[in-house]
């Protein structure tokens, strides 16, 4: 097993996700040059150790539930613990109990966004079966950062909402059945990796806000300021969901497209405000 991390693969799934991820892992070559990070939407009372045992049956990679501050190692499958966000920075894993995002903790978007900010074009994001639209914002961050976006064909997915929402909002690179994903990963990651991480400013800002909300949530000296931060963050996430819905309607409705564009402007303003509040905290 190699220890130097060259590539990051982020995988997100919700309803029907355990079966889908076991299928995906069974297609991954044992020599794949990457670390794999998995977020499954599960209740906070779920036994992640049982899920981990299930995943381990389908891969030669070692499957672990990481601890906060753990080093990232190559050819490991990292499964997010229940009721905590899993994020990455260069060489490290962060496990934090921050605010819910898209109604979930762990959130797919939180993981994907942090990976895009830290590893840029060396990130491959995969969204599988699931309800609603967690993963859409995170896949957008990966795409903007030069990474590769793969979604499960919605026709194949037990619950097609998540892959379909990504397709409606992001120009994905591959829309394929799970059976094809292992070959795609092997081909992509055999092309080498880059030492250049030219992540766009807006992705870095979004990740900076996410990190701060997860680092400082409940720790700010000024409780009123903390409340403002929390409310702004919730508003941003709700507006992101509304924007994604409007984008999905824009092909048939010009007014929906205009409203989605307006929402993007408002979201940017709120993020800027949240950034300024962070400088004072």
Cα(148)–Cα(122) distance, integer angstroms: 8
Helix (H, G, I), strand (E, B) or coil at 43: coil
Stated length of the chain: 281
202 is catalytic: no
Rounded CA gap, 111 and 136, in Å?
A: 12
Q: Which of 82, 107, 109, 134 is catalytic?
A: 134
Residue 141 CA to residue 108 CA, distance in Å, equals: 12
Taking CA atoms, 11 is separated from 24, 124, 270, in Å, by: 10, 9, 29
43 has catalytic annotation: no
- Closest by alpha carbon to 122, among 139, 141, 147, 142? 147
Q: Tell me, what DSSP letter sits at residue 91?
A: T
Examine the residue annotation and report whether 180 is marked as an active-site residue of this protein: no
- On whether the CB atoms of residues 247 and 168 are closer than 8 A, the answer is yes
Rounded to whole angstroms, the Cα distance separating 207 from 102 reads 15
DSSP 8-state secondary structure symbol assigned to residue 60: S
Residue 136 CA to residue 101 CA, distance in Å, equals 12
Chain position carrying tokens 């829309």: 175
Per the structure block, which two tokens stand in for 206?
Answer: 């979004």
Contact 176, 153 (CB under 8 A): yes
**Residue 183: count of CB within 10 angstroms of its CB:** 13
Catalytic residues: 14, 41, 134
């Amino acid at each position: 097993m190699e220890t130097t991390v060259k590539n990051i693969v982020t995988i997100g799934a919700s309803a029907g996700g355990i079966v889908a991820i076991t299928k995906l892992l069974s297609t991954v070559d044992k020599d794949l040059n990457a670390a794999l990070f998995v977020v499954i939407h599960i209740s906070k009372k779920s036994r992640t150790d049982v899920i981990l045992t299930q995943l381990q049956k389908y891969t030669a990679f070692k499957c672990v539930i990481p601890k906060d501050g753990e080093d990232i190692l190559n050819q490991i499958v990292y499964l997010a613990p229940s009721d905590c966000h899993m994020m990455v920075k260069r060489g490290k894993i962060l496990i934090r109990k921050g605010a819910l995002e898209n109604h979930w903790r762990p959130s797919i978007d939180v993981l994907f966004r942090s990976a895009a900010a830290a590893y840029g074009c060396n990130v491959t994001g995969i969204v599988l079966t699931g309800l609603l639209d967690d993963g859409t914002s995170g896949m957008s961050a990966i795409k903007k950062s030069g990474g590769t976006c793969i979604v499960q064909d919605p026709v194949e997915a037990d619950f097609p909402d998540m892959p379909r929402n990504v397709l409606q909002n992001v120009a994905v690179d591959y829309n394929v059945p799970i059976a094809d994903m292992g070959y795609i990963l092997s081909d992509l990651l055999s092309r080498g990796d880059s030492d250049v991480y030219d992540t766009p400013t807006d992705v870095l800002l979004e990740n900076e806000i996410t990190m701060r909300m997860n680092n400082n949530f409940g720790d700010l000296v000024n409780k009123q300021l903390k409340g403002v931060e929390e409310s702004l963050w919730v508003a941003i996430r709700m507006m992101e969901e509304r924007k994604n819905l409007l984008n999905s309607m824009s092909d048939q409705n010009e007014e929906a497209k205009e409203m989605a564009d307006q929402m993007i402007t408002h979201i940017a303003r709120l993020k800027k405000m949240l950034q300024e509040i962070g400088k004072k905290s």
